[in-house]
Amino acid sequence: MEILHARALIVISLSFFSLSSSEYPTSGRSPLPLFAFSWWDDKGTFQAGDTATIKVKVLENADKIDKRTFYPILTVNGKEGNSSYVSTVLSNFQGDPNEWKISFTPIRVGLFNVLINEDHYKVSDSSLHFQVEPGNMYPSVCVASWKGVKHEYEAGSKATIMVLLKDAFGNHISKTTQVSYLPDFKLFVLHENGSVASVPDISNMGWNVFDYVVIEFVVTKAGTFSLSLEGGNQTLNGSPLPLTVNPGTIDVSNCVAKWNIEPHAWQLASKMEVFIYQLDQYGNLVSGLYRFDSEVVERDTNLSIPIADLHFEEVDAGIQLFSFSNFEPGNFILTIYDSKHNKSISNMPYVYSVFIGYCDGVKSVVNGSGLNDSVAGVKAEFSVYLNDIYQYPSPVEADTLQVQILRESDSYSVSPIIYPIINKNGSTIASGVRYDGIGYVENAPSPSIELSNNSNGKGSFVTASDFQVDYIPEKSGFYDINVYCGNIVLNEGHSFRKEVKSGEVNVSLSSVVRFSSKVPKLSTNEIVVQLVDSYLNPVLSQQSRLKLENASTNISGFSTLNITDNMDGSYNCSYVAKYVGTYEICASFDGKRFWSCPFSINVYSGEYFPKANNDIISIWEDQSIAFDVLANDYFAGDNASIVEFSKSGHGSLIQNGRIFRYTPYKGYYGNDSFWYTISDINGNLASASVYISVLNVPPQFVSVPNQLQATEDLISPRFGGFTGFEITYSNPMENISVNLSAQSGNTIEVSAVNKNGVNSLGVPIFVDPINDPPFIMAPSFIVLRSNEDETLIFDQEKDKFDFFIGDPDLITFPGGQAHFFVTFSMEVSDGWLVTNLPVHLSNTTELKQRVNYQWQPLQTYVTISKHFMVKAHGIRFQGLVNDCNSVMQQLFYHGGEHGAVLTLTLNDLGNYGCYPDCADGMSMPLYTEATVNLMRKQPMSSFLAHSVVVYFKLENPARQKINALQQVKPLANLTHRCAYLYPLDIERK
């Protein structure tokens, strides 16, 4: 499969516009080409899904263009290339430069600005824009919802659905939008299992002021359902909708009386039980116990019979049980009605009779081979012996016995024939007397009776206690047989269950039902054969008697592989043909050929048939993609067409020739698929599937500050004002990573990462600097060379300690190190300091002499190689940090044999940062001081330090002399302590 894409992005303009460089290169270089862009045919307004084309015209220097490096980049509303605004960006820069063009497919509605950049030829155009209107309605993208979120109604009331019309890309269609396709809508009320409960008629449909299509219909069937709304054979988004319909008020004339069985003869002393279904005008059950009136009238006298034990009871929602006992024999009429409204229920009056009998459902006997499994079309029979509770024969009128034979799968009914057995010398069946049992097939004959005088000659009905039942089942399956004596169910109230099996295969009715007339050679192919008996029942497990054979005399190489029983009467017969040609094939059963034999099969080489291969594509959830499904398929003649394809489950799918365009539904991510079928020039078919992965775009930033402000070394902000970074992500169940870093510079880098990519941005931050104090790195003592009067204080070759100054603000100082000045002073308690200063420090250098111990400006100096020598008790100057460190590296001490104390002072002049608090916007200079003991002799050893005893004499006269024994503790601290003990205690000793 080929996904349509382009290496160049798109540009849009309403008029020609020069895009060349604003100035020509300097002499010696070729002038750059000059470009202009416009809409093809001056069309800058499109429908979503149309192809937009930009005309690219080279005005000058077309021969200077290298097509291999000419790749203009299109940015639409800030997004480069294929995005949520445009798709399928293609460019054509072949042939005549006046015919160059860029095409794309707009997919979002609105007015869009375009920026075209091409760095190599200095192209930059931001003058282009285009307008997009919605495309044709795509039903499965349209959103259906209940008006007012109401989905519970009373039967007979009007329900209202609102539909937000959208095109294939999710753009909203309003009533003012000019579209060429608006399909008819259809409603389906579905049960929980998905079956159709009803198909409501749409009573009204139109637009409302909010640009929704409003659909009104009347709900009639009560229950808990779902409502499916379809348009153009597509189910709308959001459908099916939940729907609850409550029954209306009871309609007496619509109520129905039902019996478990509906006999018209009731045995004396038995209880009549009638179930009354309380229904509204639409046939829905109405719960509650509605008070009906009833009346039983004797037909012969037309007198009402009082009922002593009349009982009403609600046995289920909307169903009540009406019962009373039959204490008098005779013929009666039952009427159930509502006297207040003068209405009776629908199937009243009910005519019945009460006979004197003692038939017992347990003691009566039903047996015979007709209750066992049998074969379709074969006569079956069984006998019925009516007995009372004491097992004595209980004769009844012949039409009182009823037999019901129903198939389980579809309630197909078999109409039996019932013969009463008349005892003449003990064993004779009256062949002239016949009764048909009850049946429930539409074309079954109604119950009939052939009258004959009884043995006493009194009356016209035959009475008997023994009966024979004959029937012929023609359909295979499982049957339930129920035998009734009036309202008494025999066999303890249970039915007899039996299976009717299919008969022998009828070759004249069986046939080959499916085969392919064109097949590839050396491949497994199938022929489907359907076996039925004389009553068209499917015949199973007969694969061993089936056979495929080659009836051709001029070609061989045909072989049968295996025959599979599909357990529904059909059989898959597989075969292989080795050679190209036409085969005459026959299917036979026990050697008898079916009427459709022989049939011809043409065998071709494999290259004759097309082959469709599955495609796998991926797409971002907010974009659209076009792809050629035939790009990786094979078909003869290089020509094939798509004859059929399915709808995708989670996105819109538009076909244009061999190109499909898929756009996922808004908010959907995950997997989707559809299948398609192609046909080549010979009419051969092949099918394949397209598997689509809809990827989550990396988390998107929806709320980002333009700039942040903070204070150095403090948590910011201190008092609100910053709400943070807000991101959106469509998959709330997936873990994502959000990273914030500010390693250097003046930008905070924020990135949000999911498994498919990363989205990052930089937020500029302005940090108010805090003026940090400068620092001096120097040891507490330095041992000088004792044999020299003028000694270098810090010898880089000998000394391994740190001896320099610095300032933490120097790194981030906006002016750089060249403009960061400090004041640095060096002073000794005894002796002189000698150093060599660069000449640019002469204006700020001050000296302190032993005469007055006051800082005085430098008066005279001698410059040698841009440096001058100074010697003083103290030296102070203003310079750069590097100047200070350079002076420290070449500082000499000239003094006595006991050394001195060197005092170093560093002042940062307050030239960067605020202090003490940036809230006041003020600052002040900060300084630091360090003292270094300059010694001519090495301090005492650690061993000696352990033995030193120091005596302290307290100056407080109120306290006595205290001797304190202090022993120097850890070895690591000896050097530091000895540095102070040496000049103090040892000298006194």
pTM across the whole model:
0.71
Phi, psi angles (nearest 5°) of residue 369: -65, -20
Residues 6+ apart with CB under 8 A from 333: 296, 297, 299, 349, 350, 351
Between CA 890 and CA 875 the distance in angstroms is 13
DSSP conformation class of 665: P
Neighbouring C-alpha atoms within 13 Å toward the C-beta of 342: 0
The CATH T-level fold of domain 365-501 is Immunoglobulin-like (2.60.40)
Q: Tokens standing for 936?
A: 């001519």
Query: From CA 24, how far away is CA 36, in angstroms rounded?
Result: 17
Q: Mean pLDDT of successive 10-residue segments in the chain (989 residues)?
A: 39 34 46 82 90 86 78 88 91 82 92 86 82 92 91 94 94 85 86 93 91 94 94 90 94 92 86 93 93 93 90 92 92 93 91 92 94 95 95 91 92 92 54 42 34 37 90 96 93 94 95 93 94 96 93 86 94 94 93 90 92 95 94 89 94 94 93 96 94 92 84 76 80 85 79 87 85 93 79 84 91 86 94 93 91 84 91 94 93 85 94 80 89 80 44 35 32 33 32
Domains 2-133 and 609-695 are alike in CATH topology: yes
Q: ω before 240 within 30° of 0 (cis)? A: yes
Residue 971: DSSP 8-state: G
Choose the CATH number for 252-355 among 3.30.420.340, 2.60.40.10, 3.30.43.10, 1.10.443.10.
2.60.40.10
Any bridge partners for residue 958, and if so which?
none
CATH value of 139-246 in 3.90.1200.10, 3.40.50.720, 2.60.40.10, 1.10.3720.10: 2.60.40.10
Which of these CATH numbers, 3.40.50.2000, 3.90.1570.30, 2.60.40.10, 3.40.1410.10, describes 2-133? 2.60.40.10
Per the CB < 8 A criterion, the answer to whether 262 and 351 are in contact is no
Under CATH, which architecture does the 511-606 domain have? Sandwich (2.60)
How many angstroms separate the CA atoms of 635 and 686, rounded?
Answer: 9
Tell me, rounded to whole angstroms, the distance of Cα 689 from its chain centroid: 20
Cα separation of 404 and 416, whole Å?
8
Complete DSSP assignment for 261-286: S--SEEETTPEEEEEEE-B-TTS-B-
Count, residues in the chain: 989
pLDDT of residue 895: 83
Q: CA separation (Å) from 666 to 135, 693, 719? A: 16, 15, 40
Instruction: Please report the pLDDT score of residue 188 as a whole number.
Output: 95
- Please, what is the Cα angle at 144 between 143 and 147, to 5 degrees? 130
Query: 619, 694 in Cβ contact below 8 A?
Result: yes
Q: Which CATH fold would you assign to the domain 609-695?
A: Immunoglobulin-like (2.60.40)
| CA–CA distances in Å: residue 136 to residues 85, 141, 173 | 17, 11, 8
pLDDT of residue 709: 83
Instruction: Write down the domain spans for the chain.
Output: 2-133, 139-246, 252-355, 365-501, 511-606, 609-695, 700-768, 775-935, 942-988
- Which residues pair with residue 154 across a beta bridge? 246
Q: How far apart are CA 529 and CA 596, in angstroms?
A: 11
Does residue 101 contact residue 6 with C-beta atoms inside 8 Å?
A: no
On whether the CB atoms of residues 850 and 873 are closer than 8 A, the answer is yes
